[in-house]
Structure 1
């Protein structure tokens, strides 16, 4: 295979392969299952499984796995071979429909948040026929959902599929009201842009903090950072280009629509963006993308860092979630059309999103909350912790005219009446992009920019899908019972704009004045993860998810506990790593260097009082003072980290880490980074920022 077109999807058991290898009736029934969510007859499953096995064996595969996404945020797999014993002492290669449809991995060691006891080990994986099987590392991977013996979701795929059903159900009600009876399904689509750093493997291996935590816990700034703005979209280094080339080829083989690659703002930072696809598939693909990015980097003696803030003082990495809603007939419901009815439908869906973002801003904020992302949100590189929406001046003026029932100067001098007035045709990206907005309209989609680079995109999209489904349900209830559809539609859109316009902000989200204005508007400012996560269990949010059958109350409680515990565990590992690096590496190295300077002072003075020792003496004095201060702060860190472990309430423990452990870590780092600037580079125990950020040649 030499061309990208020939490589694309070559390791995927996709529709073209199924059509070629399955009997016509089997193929038709499987298509109905994939499109309509129907159950699959076991006889059909047996035929599909056998064809899938034969296809995989022809490509050198001997094992299969149910590939799933537990609540660890990464993927999981248990490999089984196709071999079965034969009567003559040999083996045959078998794969049944039962093995395709369901697996039974041990669930005891996966996070459950109390959904099951440790001794209740049984868990089930169930084939997701809406996602194609694929070959990765010589293993046939079957995308599956993962649940407990009692039926509770233990993964990130199941709630996402439920949320897609919810928005499909409610969106169909709305589009049918506009006469689009030919529409049979509505799906959300996502194109997640992925930011990441690349560092030289040899430097990475000398940094305990990068190995254990994914970010640098110490590090003085290099003389140069991103201030010259010369890395962004700059020429890609040959080593990085070779890495990107192989990464693209491997992604294409898996049917992943890798499209755009470039240098990002910070030195050593890059971005990869795919073409959008159905949200469920996009989530699977993004998990695969992150895995391949890290694995392929090592083949090039590089390491891919997906932490949200691997380096202090320069931009961190996010993941921009480009979200839209489309019908099976090819209509993007967030793109204005040319006729009054199309305009009205667009405005109604737009208002559903506006209302959802306003009413569930707490959920959107917590969907991007993590210990890593807390370092990034609000800096001059990422949106603030306050949720707001950017619509652009033109669309905002149209909404204002509808709200006030005034004329809109941009088109015609007549009252803006929904369903009568034809809106201006919006070209794609008709307004300037607002990089400071958490949730920006970009022509025919919304870009949710708060996500952290290492996060699964499942959680944010579960929330987006469910929240918008709820607003569409309310809209459909009103419109279906209306005596005059057009009047009711106009009033509904006008009132929604009037009631929820506070969430719309087109200005600079980095400006402190915006935070003051946001507070006046009553918008939430949930600055940290412990501030945001408790909102998940607020009554209105529990009602939202349970009413649409996306989560049960037990599943919500479990996820809340898992998220809080993850925050604590991440910070605990960071605190222990920091203490070890300081106590066993940095302080001994600095002390040794101070000793050598002291010996130099004594040696010089022994030669005569007239020999100047001001540099050595002054440096020793400064280092000794800083070392004493750093040691005191190290002891404080060790103490508060130890005390944190005595707190039995996980919520209180999370706030203790935020209020006590993080400040202790920051204080210790301040002294250590100053010591780095005074210590001979030959004795400093770790590669510097200069080597890490500029070491790829």
Structure 2
């Protein structure tokens, strides 16, 4: 399949969105009144009717058929964190033995995939198979094209027979409604009569590694777990900092060109691409868009990266820490709020009213992040991310906000009832209220050690892992901010003097929650001690943070905004615990197999050869001490590796029989992982002293430096 496009003959403007059933396409193919109805449904002003769906289905079918599609699928986000699809053809047999191509409004609105094998966390029994997919009108349909043909993909939500959310999209959509409702209340209290809806905008930066497929295929750990469970660093890693933003290798550049083309076709606005810090690590970033579109687009980005890499003889690694000793990969979730009439609520304005609004909404985010820090930490928790957080440009496990000097000073002055500022250099805008200080347009530098950094007109949630769906972090963040805004709105709606109320809200909120603002080095040991002094939680692993999902306050938060029920939260809690345990179990099993079946035989054979060489040298009176010492050291490490592997087998068996989900995950975290570290340390030490020709697996040098 040749996907190369000559952009000197075919302009990008013709390629972009050519495989996306966007609003522009609907405008061309639908009657004006029907298109207007769909826009109203997208804006949450009306419910979708079957009549409108029939028109949309016919237009979608005709468009897809004109592009060569033979099948359609309801494309959804189950709780696996991946996407799922069941393909149905458009054909409908006729009485005379022929077929016609049909697609009805009912088929567009609702599908019925078998839900029995998807994670449900106890919401349903495995024999209860019925599940429903419902068209998400807010995200455009698109076409998937590969060697098997062309398929129409319809973004959908996924629910059970009893209405429980079985996916990541339903809670996201509900959280968007919750945030919009409460933000509009605040805006109306501030005198805004034009905005009807507040939209969450997201721009996720996706990091990933590329490795040559011939080396990947020889590594069972990469194939089965996505990361290397063995591997020692070569003499050079990333310390020279020569890869970051360096010139792209031709092979990578060709891959990226095709990647962009494939994403542009489906309307994903891939904008930025570059070498990341670690060798063979890269990043791609889109333009900001609405949260639902961004979530779907990011899933497409991950899938397209993998598929495109394979066509170029490479494999893409999306694991948070595929290589020990170099940077891990994250997914920086750039988040903001905007009104439907184009106002970014997190951007300083040019008049007193807009700047007061900016400070109010920013204060709401600060309070939400502090109050629900553990929940946000849980939203980014996974076995893979546990390897990444806290080092090598990944943020620490402590949730904090970076503001930068000028903005921090402004909020501190408000909280402390001070006037004037000491920080200079930035152009300042007057708020028009004597008790509030002037506001800088350019409010901060960037801080790459902060998990939640303000970057001018948005917050960058840097803790999210590279393999994760961004639906969950945005759902939790939206709901947390919605709760704080609802409390702000309650106060503002009762206030007689709005200016005084705004000042009081900002002052009181920030005074209570400014402990979460930290502008220093998040990697430092001093920050760990300072965070403890401030009372900020520092939960370093997934198992210990997940219980926050079922705590009373968490349940009350999500139920009050109708985002998730208690049962749905408990189901997700168990699903994530089980996923953690399964992941560690697989990694440990792969480690045992690689050690037993490949490393031991290779090392034993090499040690035997050394012993023969030493004996031969001794027989002729030559010096054999180096070979003897080397053979002895290999024998020592081999014995230790054997013992550690046996220990791992034993503790793995103990973990597998634990029935309680939390208790089992705790055993994997506290007992299995430390033994895995012991196995790895011995194997990696052996790799350093065994001949490269004798070592059974491609090394880090090959995986990280050869493309």
Give the TM-score category using the shorter length: over 0.9
**Alignment counterpart, residue 359 of structure 1, candidates 366, 371, 377:** 371
Q: Provide the TM-score with structure 2 as the length reference.
A: 0.96
Q: What pairs up with 1:490-501 in 2 under 5 angstroms? A: 490-501=503-514
CA shift for structure 1 position 25: 1.4
What secondary structure is seen at the aligned counterpart in 1 of 2:282?
Answer: strand
Q: What pairs up with 1:469-488 in 2 under 5 angstroms? A: 469-488=482-501
Aligned to 1:672: 683
Alignment of 1:140 onto 2:148: no
Aligned to 2:13: 5
Looking at structure 1, the residues matched to 573 and 687 of structure 2 have their Cα atoms a distance apart, in angstroms, of 40
CA shift for structure 1 position 43: 1.7
Alignment of 1:518 onto 2:531: yes
What secondary structure is seen at the aligned counterpart in 2 of 1:62?
Answer: strand
Q: What pairs up with 1:150-229 in 2 under 5 angstroms? A: 150-229=162-241
Give yes or no for contact 1:575–1:637 (8 Å, CA) kept in 2: yes
Alignment of 1:568 onto 2:581: yes
Alignment of 1:653 onto 2:657: no
Aligned to 1:435: 448
Looking at structure 1, the residues matched to 607 and 241 of structure 2 have their Cα atoms a distance apart, in angstroms, of 38
CA shift for structure 1 position 167: 0.3
Looking at structure 2, the residues matched to 426 and 287 of structure 1 have their Cα atoms a distance apart, in angstroms, of 37
Q: What pairs up with 1:194-593 in 2 under 5 angstroms? A: 194-409=206-421, 419-420=433-434, 424=438, 426-428=440-442, 430-593=443-606
Query: CA-to-partner distance for each residue in 1:295-338, whole Å, 9 max, x for gaps?
Result: 10000001000000000101010010000000011100001112
Alignment of 1:38 onto 2:46: yes
Runs of 4+ residues deviating >3 angstroms:
416-428
Looking at structure 2, the residues matched to 403 and 203 of structure 1 have their Cα atoms a distance apart, in angstroms, of 57
Give yes or no for contact 1:343–1:419 (8 Å, CA) kept in 2: no
RMSD between aligned residues: 1.4
Looking at structure 2, the residues matched to 617 and 516 of structure 1 have their Cα atoms a distance apart, in angstroms, of 49
Looking at structure 2, the residues matched to 497 and 186 of structure 1 have their Cα atoms a distance apart, in angstroms, of 23
What secondary structure is seen at the aligned counterpart in 2 of 1:408?
Answer: coil
375-384 vs 280-289, which deviates more?
375-384
Alignment of 1:126 onto 2:134: yes
CA shift for structure 1 position 37: 5.1
Alignment of 1:630 onto 2:638: no
Query: CA-to-partner distance for each residue in 1:427-483, whole Å, 9 max, x for gaps?
Result: 45x422100111010110000100110000011100110000000000000110112
Distance 1:136 1:423, change over 3 A: farther
Looking at structure 2, the residues matched to 36 and 554 of structure 1 have their Cα atoms a distance apart, in angstroms, of 26
Looking at structure 1, the residues matched to 566 and 421 of structure 2 have their Cα atoms a distance apart, in angstroms, of 49
CA shift for structure 1 position 367: 0.8
Alignment of 1:100 onto 2:111: no
CA shift for structure 1 position 422: 7.3
Give yes or no for contact 2:436–2:503 (8 Å, CA) kept in 1: no
Distance 1:393 1:625, change over 3 A: same
Give yes or no for contact 1:340–1:422 (8 Å, CA) kept in 2: no
Query: CA-to-partner distance for each residue in 1:152-204, whole Å, 9 max, x for gaps?
Result: 00000000000000000000001111221010110110100010000000000
Looking at structure 2, the residues matched to 28 and 187 of structure 1 have their Cα atoms a distance apart, in angstroms, of 19
Give yes or no for contact 1:343–1:422 (8 Å, CA) kept in 2: no
CA shift for structure 1 position 33: 1.1
CA shift for structure 1 position 374: 0.3
Give yes or no for contact 2:190–2:498 (8 Å, CA) kept in 1: no
Give structure 2 stretches of 5+ with no counterpart: 1-8
175-184 vs 385-394, which deviates more?
175-184
CA shift for structure 1 position 88: 1.2
**Alignment counterpart, residue 619 of structure 1, candidates 620, 630, 653:** 630
Looking at structure 2, the residues matched to 660 and 577 of structure 1 have their Cα atoms a distance apart, in angstroms, of 17
Give yes or no for contact 2:365–2:481 (8 Å, CA) kept in 1: yes
Looking at structure 2, the residues matched to 140 and 303 of structure 1 have their Cα atoms a distance apart, in angstroms, of 26
Looking at structure 2, the residues matched to 41 and 438 of structure 1 have their Cα atoms a distance apart, in angstroms, of 43
CA shift for structure 1 position 423: 5.6
Looking at structure 2, the residues matched to 28 and 491 of structure 1 have their Cα atoms a distance apart, in angstroms, of 43
What secondary structure is seen at the aligned counterpart in 1 of 2:115?
Answer: coil
Looking at structure 1, the residues matched to 290 and 91 of structure 2 have their Cα atoms a distance apart, in angstroms, of 35
CA shift for structure 1 position 371: 0.4
CA shift for structure 1 position 411: 8.9
Query: CA-to-partner distance for each residue in 1:61-90, whole Å, 9 max, x for gaps?
Result: 000000000000000000000000012111
Aligned to 1:604: 617
Query: CA-to-partner distance for each residue in 1:636-671, whole Å, 9 max, x for gaps?
Result: 000000110111111011111111100000001000
Q: What pairs up with 1:81-92 in 2 under 5 angstroms? A: 81-92=89-100
Give yes or no for contact 1:70–1:156 (8 Å, CA) kept in 2: yes
Aligned to 1:27: 35
Distance 1:403 1:425, change over 3 A: closer
Give yes or no for contact 2:320–2:329 (8 Å, CA) kept in 1: yes
CA shift for structure 1 position 604: 2.1
Looking at structure 1, the residues matched to 589 and 19 of structure 2 have their Cα atoms a distance apart, in angstroms, of 42
What secondary structure is seen at the aligned counterpart in 1 of 2:687?
Answer: helix
**Alignment counterpart, residue 78 of structure 1, candidates 75, 86, 90:** 86
Looking at structure 2, the residues matched to 422 and 547 of structure 1 have their Cα atoms a distance apart, in angstroms, of 33
Give yes or no for contact 2:351–2:431 (8 Å, CA) kept in 1: no
Looking at structure 1, the residues matched to 533 and 557 of structure 2 have their Cα atoms a distance apart, in angstroms, of 27
Q: Provide the TM-score with structure 1 as the length reference.
A: 0.98
CA shift for structure 1 position 417: 8.1
Give yes or no for contact 2:410–2:439 (8 Å, CA) kept in 1: no
78-87 vs 335-344, which deviates more?
335-344
CA shift for structure 1 position 19: 1.1
Number of equivalent positions = 691
Distance 1:195 1:277, change over 3 A: same
597-606 vs 416-425, which deviates more?
416-425
